[in-house]
């Protein structure tokens, strides 16, 4: 849901099959619109190889990487002008994620321990320079009408 | 952990007692440094009343609120120049959160459904204009030494 809300075109749940996650993603997209690809079960190595072959940069988000704020890593990523495959691990990730056979960049959304999902949100917010949070999703059945106070949802 | 990593001075886990959360927060702070207050069990109304009395702005993060990107809500919050108490609900929140008896501002980190914790991270990143991700934490026993590839942690 974070990937979708922050403007990703899709999400790969590598190595794992989880029909519950798939259902949630499909229901959210059906109600709130937009196109969002969801793939699961594919081994992570295969996903990385495929997307690299298509010309993607691979960015691994990790607290051990180059600091998104104090280094020039975002400038270099943006300057490349390529599509980006973001890798977010859960718990312990394979050592290879940290090296250039897998990741072009290791980016730290701060070097303090926190949450992978928050790192993803902030990375994407900075990658798209905030634009993603203002965009409309096509074919939405439900749409929030922003309010200073209270809740309003429009149906179409 | 997100609140701490993104520069909050503390965290109130309202209405609930959870010693596991408390332990994690204390362990993280002991290892990674900084001062971070942790309070739990206090009823949310009391927390809000106390912090308002101290002159805080209360900001409720909700997908129904004013869009952080397309409205001027962040400008108004920053212009107030006050300390900010951020309210992040879990699942269904009391209706009062949406109204001015509780929240001065309802801020939407995008009007799409996603995660409260990511909303908190992006809100704080924008509130502090990124500065929080570069800061050093005092009295840290462990400190990441950012690397382009691999992992490095310094002990002190």
Phi, psi angles (nearest 5°) of residue B154: -100, 140
A156 touches chain B (CB under 8 A): no
pTM: 0.96
pLDDT digits (tens, 9 = 90+) for A17-57: 999 999 999 999 999 999 999 999 999 999 999 999 999 99
Q: What percent of chain A has pLDDT over 90?
A: 97
Residue B50: per-residue pLDDT: 97
Say yes or no for a CB contact (<8 Å) between B151 and A64: yes
Residue B91: per-residue pLDDT: 75
Residue B156: per-residue pLDDT: 85
pLDDT digits (tens, 9 = 90+) for B36-91: 999 999 999 999 999 999 999 999 999 999 999 999 999 999 999 999 999 998 77
Mean pLDDT taken over chain A: 96
Residue among A148, A150, A152, A153 with most chain B CBs within 10 A, to mutate: A148
- Rounded to a whole number of angstroms, the CA Rg of chain B reads 17
Instruction: Place A156 in a pLDDT band, splitting at 50, 70 and 90.
Output: confident
Whether ipTM > 0.90 holds is yes
Residue B140: per-residue pLDDT: 97
A96 touches chain B (CB under 8 A): no
Sign of CA dihedral B54, B130, B118, A30: positive
Instruction: Place A92 in a pLDDT band, splitting at 50, 70 and 90.
Output: confident
What's the whole-number mean pLDDT along residues B104-118? 96
Distance set, CA B35 to CA A132, B30, B70 (Å) = 34, 9, 34
Residue B85: per-residue pLDDT: 98
Contacts A–B by Cβ distance under 8 A: 171
Residue entry with tokens 């990441």: B144
Residue B92: per-residue pLDDT: 85
Instruction: Place A90 in a pLDDT band, splitting at 50, 70 and 90.
Output: confident
Say yes or no for a CB contact (<8 Å) between A114 and B148: no
User: Cα–Cα distance between A56 and B56 in angstroms, integer?
Assistant: 45
Beta bridge partners of B84: B57
Among the residues of chain B, which ranges form H helices? 2-5, 19-32, 44-53, 73-80, 116-127
By 3-state DSSP, what share of chain B in percent is helix, strand and coil, each rounded to 5?
A: 35, 20, 45
């Amino acid at each position: 849901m974070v990937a979708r809300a922050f403007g990703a075109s899709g999400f790969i749940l590598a190595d794992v099959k989880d029909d519950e996650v798939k259902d949630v993603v499909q229901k959210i997209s059906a109600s709130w619109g937009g196109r969002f690809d969801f793939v699961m079960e594919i081994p992570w190595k295969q996903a990385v190889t495929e997307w690299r072959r298509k010309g993607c940069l691979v960015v691994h988000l990790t607290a051990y990487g180059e600091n998104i704020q104090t280094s020039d890593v975002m400038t270099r990523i943006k300057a490349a002008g390529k599509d980006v495959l973001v890798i977010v691990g859960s718990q312990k990730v394979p050592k290879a994620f940290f090296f250039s056979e897998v990741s072009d960049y290791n980016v730290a959304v701060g070097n303090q321990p926190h949450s992978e999902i928050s790192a993803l949100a902030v990375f994407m917010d900075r990658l798209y320079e905030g634009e993603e949070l203002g965009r409309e999703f096509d074919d939405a059945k439900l749409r929030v009408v922003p309010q200073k106070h209270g809740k309003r949802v429009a149906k179409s």
